[in-house]
Amino acid sequence: AVLAPAGKSGDMSVRELRRACGAADASWCVDKKELRGVFRIAGGVCRAGECQSRLEGSCTKTLSCGHPCGGVRGEATCLPCLRCAPPGDAGATREGKRPPPTADDPCAICYVDPMGAAPAILLGCGHVVHRRCAIDKIRAGWPGPAISFNHLRCPLCGASGGEAEEVGSRQFPAMRHGSLDEEIQPVLALRDAVMRRGRRRLLAEGNVA
Ligand SMILES: [Zn+2]
Ligand SMILES: [Zn+2]
Ligand SMILES: [Zn+2]
Ligand SMILES: [Zn+2]
């Protein structure tokens, strides 16, 4: 796809616009205005393969504040804006709750790229991390020879002492997001199997009443 300068998009047909959006997700667009928005975002992205594949995984919607969404492709609900202060009392932190990170804050998993540099997800716990980093963390598995499942935890919850883990319980504070299900469900299933086996062994040895 050849990208025309953004100013020229007014003359382009819907079909031309769709083609010019390239790797960017234009599937959700229902009118030309939305297509032009995607075209604008796509046109601002570097042509390098890495940047284009990042674009491919990105939500291409423009938020009501006018900023591009920092979320992931196909998300049902857009990520809260990483560039605008959260609605309500700006800057004020509710007790025990940190505001979402800004686009310039480092990702709590990679500490390399700022939040705004790659598609990010809002986890069930309320923390925001890069989707790619969350998936890499899940795939990396447990660190040592002994099976453990702490790598499934949100690094920010872990750091703030959210230790609600109960053996075999559904309350285990894993990173929760619809787009991680495919990666994390098999590991959670393995965890449950390990817990069941461990419990059976304890029962057999008479260590559990
Ligand atoms: Zn979005
Ligand atoms: Zn905004
Ligand atoms: Zn990251
Ligand atoms: Zn968290």
What is Dmax (Cα atoms) for the chain?
A: 78
What's the CA-to-centroid distance between 60 and ligand 4, angstroms?
Answer: 25
HSE on the CB side for 6, CA within 13 Å? 11
Domains of the chain, by residue range, sit at 1-73, 100-209
pLDDT at 21 over 60: yes
User: 174 C-alpha to center of ligand 2: Å?
Assistant: 28
For 169-175, the CB contacts below 8 A with 24+ separation are 173/125, 174/149, 175/123, 175/124, 175/125, 175/129, 175/134, 175/137, 175/138
pLDDT digits (tens, 9 = 90+) for 61-103: 999 999 999 999 999 999 999 998 766 554 444 445 556 678 9
Cα–Cα distances (Å) from 203 to 79, 166, 197, in that order, read 46, 18, 10
> What local confidence, expressed as pLDDT, does residue 87 receive?
62
Closest ligand to 98 CA?
4
- The H-or-E segment that residue 130 falls in is strand 128-130
Tell me the sheet residues that pair with 68: 62
Q: What is the pLDDT of residues 172-186, one digit of tens each?
A: 678 999 999 999 999
* Per-residue pLDDT at 162: 47
Distance of CA 45 to the CA centre of its chain: 20
Compute, in angstroms, the gap from residue 65 CA to the centroid of ligand 2: 5
Distance 132 CA to ligand 3 centre (A): 7
Q: What is the pLDDT of residues 31-42, one digit of tens each?
A: 999 999 999 999
Q: Does residue 94 or residue 132 have the better pLDDT?
A: 132
Q: What is the predicted ipTM? A: 0.94
Which one is predicted more confidently, 48 or 195? 48
DSSP state of 162: -
